[in-house]
Amino acid sequence: MHFTGPAMLAVLSATVAVAAPAAEKYSKDYDEDWEHKWQNDDWKKNENLFYFDSEYYVKATPEQVIATTGVPTPGQPGAKGIFKYGINIAENTICYNITLSGVTGDYQSPAVTATHIHEAVKGKSGPPRLAFPNPKGPDHRRVSYGCLTAPFFVGTNNTQGIDNAAGFHVQQIVANPSGFFTDSHSKQFPAGAVRGQL
């Protein structure tokens, strides 16, 4: 089928004219919603900056550290950490806000970073499933915050040579939070400076 220039213009114009009412309605609804939110503060009661299916607030201490051999191995004396996590299952995303106090010296780990969530119950050791950027700042307050979205990578492998984070989904944490712990490792305390169970 062949259209002349004027005929093609007429067809396109008709298509735009047919689609216009729907676009106008959407624009009107959007404008009304925006104006309502701008003029009234009541909408804030039901709004979140981020949506999380689950949130975790973990206090990490040196007394909870367990070596890979399964033996209690206290971390750095006087060190402590607060690890805050928010998980969005649909997006396979975890957001974090980590603060360490009293952790000194350089970080050290065979993984890509030295700050992790591992899979293991309280009193046991287990592989890292998530690796977070190491907290930075002075020794009295080192901080790291942001979000990670799958696919995840930790840089250590299981016995089959596959990365310990391969195929990991954050819903595994939500389904069994007590089966995971978080920690941060240092050169002086390679088993962990601090650890806390989710």
| Residue 23, pLDDT above cutoff 60 | no
Name the pTM for this structure.
0.76
φ, ψ of residue 195 in degrees (nearest 5): -150, 145
pLDDT higher for 5 or 81? 81
- Model confidence at 8, in pLDDT bands (50, 70, 90)? very low
- State the virtual CA torsion across 102, 106, 112, 113 in degrees, nearest 10: 10
With contact defined as beta carbons under 8 Å apart, do 165 and 128 qualify? yes
With contact defined as beta carbons under 8 Å apart, do 66 and 123 qualify? yes
Average pLDDT value for residue range 64-89: 96
Q: Map out the domains of the chain as residue ranges.
A: 5-46, 54-197
| Residue 11, pLDDT above cutoff 70 | no
pLDDT of residue 56: 98
pLDDT of residue 28: 63
Which of 180, 184, 185, 174 shows the shortest CA–CA distance to 197? 180
Which of 156, 143, 123 shows the shortest CA–CA distance to 184? 143
pLDDT higher for 160 or 23? 160
Rounded to an integer, what distance in angstroms lies between the CA atom of residue 195 and that of residue 176? Answer: 18
pLDDT of residue 103: 97
Residue 159 is given by DSSP the state: T
pLDDT of residue 182: 99
| Residue 2, pLDDT above cutoff 60 | no
